[in-house]
Amino acid sequence: MRTTLCFLIAVAGLLCHVSPAVCQQKPNVLFLICDDLNCDIGCYGHPLVKTPRIDRLAARGVRFDRAYCQYPLCGPSRASFMAGLYPDQTLIRRNSIYLRQHLPNVQSMSQLFRRNGYFATRIGKIYHYNVPKHMGTGGHDDPYSWDMTINPRGRDKDDEHLIFSLRPGSYGGTLSWLAADGTDAEQTDGIAAAEAIRLLDRYAKTKRRFFLAVGLYRPHTPYVAPKKYFDMYPAAKIRVPQVPDGYFDTLPKPARLSLTRKKDQVNLKKELAREAIRAYYASITFADAQLGLILDKLSDCGLDENTIVVFTSDHGYHMGEHGHYQKTTLFENAARVPLIISGPGVKARGETTRAFAEMVDFYPTLADLAGLKPPKYAAGVSLAPALRDANASPRSSALTQFADGYSIRTDRYRYTEWGSEGQLGNELYDHQNDSAEMRNIASDDAQRDTVARLSKLLRQRVAAARQVPDGLQQITSQTVSRFPQPQLPGAFRNQTNNAR
């Protein structure tokens, strides 16, 4: 009997060695995204911002030092990475557009997992929401993407009348903040974390394979967090970026307009700027605490070893750099995003990669790690090689667009063209000597060859990002004027829970 048992154990071990897929369960996915978060994070080298939970995730995953959004605005960026397509392919280049207004039959990232036996849940903001207006609602969500949705709403929504704003009564697109009374658990993101914890408990008990997407609202304006987080950042320690006199005159008109269109948010007085930056940092640390609760539960449930964790933001953000606050520019501050991936398939644990990553790469990367086949029209590349070997380079540049401008980031340079073939101006920044992108050298005679080379590369990338891939022609040609509410089969009908 004992000999037979030993034989069976040996055979099982041999099978696992020969074919791991036979013995290993397909991995779960935990997709964590903050709203309007730049790389002002501890593990990205920020000297002041405290993010111990994100830092801990980076220590057991791979941190991408050069990850970039495709559009520095919430709606276009989120539609892009969820569809795995560039904004010129989704045709979504502004907020408040439903994904299927332009792509009625697209298969979203989470929808791929649904169709392969995963239970897909959204908590909070994954597609576009007007913040804080749509908090507690479905926003501009895509019902096809989920089996269940949860729309948390906390006291931060109820306390709007207490919020300070540069434009009284305006919050989402205006610098605004509140050092809130009460606890983390009363805030919308605190409720989102509690809901995620509840679901992870359930999944651990039922052994259900899941794709769980948790979208936190912070640090999006208004910057609301309990007072204790504001206390972590004394105003005297806040550094306000400086802009030299005459700087804006060195930029093409479209770039200048992207920085100065909100006149009351340009080159703020130092005291006011410090308060805004302090509130942004407080919101980051508050969000970090909620992420930590979710990640701790993942570990406590024993799900961490078989769950791919992706942590990111929807785009970058300015906090006074170039005299600008918030997003919607083609500078590094608005284009660059944090990106950490951990879990099964990640062998370069605790390492930082210099490999370029684009947010359209999320879709093929998660599909690759889960052994699934993404649709042929998906535009990104799998980042799995960089997760196995931090020195691998799945792509050699990163493309970002905004309005009528396109920007390419390479190892050394950022090159930007505005208008058709750069007729409205261009910009060149040498990151080897000017990482802050404060000196536009596009017109320097010594850079003529560099500009020509990067212009050719940029136009090649733009042409590819505009091309309608095979399998997508019939989809983009079926643009509809109103979003058709889907009639899902009963077995897959979307379940919505407005958590409070």
Number of Cα atoms under 13 Å in the Cβ half of residue 193: 22
Q: DSSP 3-state assignment of 402?
A: strand
The C-alpha atoms of residue 51 and residue 214 are separated, in whole angstroms, by: 18
DSSP secondary structure, 464-477, as one string: HHHS--TT-HHHHT
DSSP secondary structure, 297-329, as one string: HHHHTT-GGGEEEEEEESS--EESGGG-EES-S
DSSP 8-state secondary structure symbol assigned to residue 264 = G
Token couple for 273: 């700027």
Return all residues near 146 (Cβ < 8 A) that are at least 6 apart: 110, 114, 120, 121, 122, 494
Q: Which of 73, 80, 69, 125 is nearest to 94 (CA)?
A: 73
Annotated catalytic residue within 39, 43, 74, 140: 74
The C-alpha atoms of residue 282 and residue 301 are separated, in whole angstroms, by: 29
Q: Does 128 participate in catalysis according to the annotation?
A: yes
Residues counted in the chain? 500
How many C-beta neighbours within 10 Å does residue 220 have? 28
Among left, alpha and beta (phi > 0; psi -120 to 50; other), residue 374 is beta
Proportion of the chain in helix, strand, coil states, percent, rounded to 5: 40, 20, 40
DSSP secondary structure, 91-103, as one string: T--SSS--GGGT-
- Strand partners of residue 497: 150
Return all residues near 477 (Cβ < 8 A) that are at least 6 apart: none
Q: Which of 132, 127, 95 is nearest to 108 (CA)?
A: 127
The C-alpha atoms of residue 34 and residue 314 are separated, in whole angstroms, by: 7
Q: Which of 399, 478, 499 is nearest to 149 (CA)?
A: 499
Annotated catalytic residue within 128, 220, 318, 324: 128
Q: Does 74 participate in catalysis according to the annotation?
A: yes
- Whether 180 and 154 have beta carbons less than 8 Å apart is answered as no
Active site residues: 74, 128
